[in-house]
Amino acid sequence: MTDAPDAPPTLDIDELLTRTPTVRRRLDLSRPVSRPLLAECLQLALHAPNGGNRQNWRFLVIDDPETKAGIARHYKSASDAYLAATPPAAMSEKAVAGVRHLADHLHEVPALVLACVHGRLPADAPLARQSGFFGTIYPALWSFMLAARSRGLGTALTTVHLAHEREVAALVGLPADEFTQVALVAVGHVTGGTGFRRTRRRPLDDVMSWNRWDS
Ligand SMILES: Cc1cc2nc3c(=O)[nH]c(=O)nc-3n(C[C@H](O)[C@H](O)[C@H](O)COP(=O)(O)O)c2cc1C
């Protein structure tokens, strides 16, 4: 790609799908993201498929420094606990460094999008309900990330703070008995140009089979 460092990237759909990584170390912490730009990405995200088209989602965008700092404290504590419990072989050193970097700097990330679903899932909910409950918002989150990427922004979809869901709910005045937090997406402009390599994935043959389950 030959885009100027500050220009939004020109990506065809296949490039957008294969070159939208989780951005942790390349989020520009010194450059705010405008509210209209964030709203534009969310507006596009609302067209994603969702359960029964009920659209029972809410997106709370947090750009207030004090609120971000409060969330970041809970994020850091949850992330440290997560990393402490992760066997060294399960993650590369580089990946651990990236996760740590985001946790150390979350309060400086320009905007955080807290994605929530209306309701609470009973612990014994049937599988179809569990899948529908959390799954209803993920297509919209991915659409948001793609829309952001195509506008020169980077995102990191995270869930680790959910270990402290109630504390974060209290910080932002979210009624935790009525709404379930599903993910927190960190958003910023990116440093080092807008180009990203293809995300690394296992070969299709390892994960796909035709007609019969192939172990
Ligand atoms: C459901 C879900 C939860 C995730 N939670 C976190 C998280 O809490 N912290 C984090 O740094 N990354 C998180 N990620 C990002 C993944 O680690 C990342 O997508 C994966 O390592 C592949 O890297 P890539 O997106 O750059 O290709 C999450 C991704 C998904 C889909």
What tokens appear for 82 in the block? 């997560």
CATH code, 144: 3.40.109.10
The predicted structure's pLDDT at residue 9 = 82
- In this structure, is residue 5 part of a structural domain? no
pLDDT, average across residues 5-15: 84
Percent of the chain's residues with pLDDT above 70? 97
- In this structure, is residue 3 part of a structural domain? no
Going by C-beta distance under 8 Å and a sequence separation of 6 or more, which residues neighbour residue 64?
Answer: none
111 Cα: distance to centroid of ligand 1 (angstroms): 17
- In this structure, is residue 10 part of a structural domain? no
Q: Give nearest CA residue, ligand 1 atom 31.
A: 157
The predicted structure's pLDDT at residue 82 = 97
92 has pLDDT over 60:
yes
- In this structure, is residue 199 part of a structural domain? no
124 has pLDDT over 70:
yes
The predicted structure's pLDDT at residue 5 = 56
9 Cα: distance to centroid of ligand 1 (angstroms): 22
Spatial separation of the C-alpha atoms in residues 107 and 124, rounded to whole Å:
36
**CB of 144 within 8 A of CB of 12?**
no
More confident residue, 194 or 176: 176
The predicted structure's pLDDT at residue 91 = 94
32 Cα: distance to centroid of ligand 1 (angstroms): 23
- In this structure, is residue 211 part of a structural domain? no
Q: Ligand 1: which of 157, 162, 164, 200 to mutate, judged by most atoms within 8 Å of the beta carbon?
A: 157
What tokens appear for 59 in the block? 């997106």
- In this structure, is residue 208 part of a structural domain? no
pLDDT, average across residues 24-50: 98
How confident is the prediction for the chain on average, in pLDDT?
A: 96
| Strand arrangement, sheet containing 179-189 | 57-62, 111-118, 179-189, 153-158
Q: How sure is the predictor about 53, in pLDDT bands with cuts at 50, 70 and 90?
A: very high
Percent of the chain's residues with pLDDT above 90? 93
1 has pLDDT over 50:
no
178 has pLDDT over 80:
yes
Q: Tell me 27's DSSP state.
A: B
pLDDT, average across residues 22-33: 98
pLDDT, average across residues 125-137: 98
Which atom of ligand 1 approaches the CA of 184 most closely? 8
Range of the domain at 76: 20-192
The predicted structure's pLDDT at residue 194 = 86
- In this structure, is residue 188 part of a structural domain? yes
Conformation bin of residue 193: beta by default, left when phi > 0, alpha when psi is -120 to 50: left
What tokens appear for 127 in the block? 């599988």
Report how many domains make up the chain.
Answer: 1
H helices of the chain, in order, are 13-18, 35-45, 65-85, 93-105, 127-135, 138-150, 165-172, 204-207
Q: Which amino acid is at 32?
A: P
135 lines ligand 1 (CB under 6 A): no
The predicted structure's pLDDT at residue 215 = 77
- In this structure, is residue 12 part of a structural domain? no
Q: Ligand 1: which of 92, 158, 190 to mutate, judged by most atoms within 8 Å of the beta carbon?
A: 158
- Neighbour count for residue 210 (Cβ, 10 Å): 5
67 Cα: distance to centroid of ligand 1 (angstroms): 23
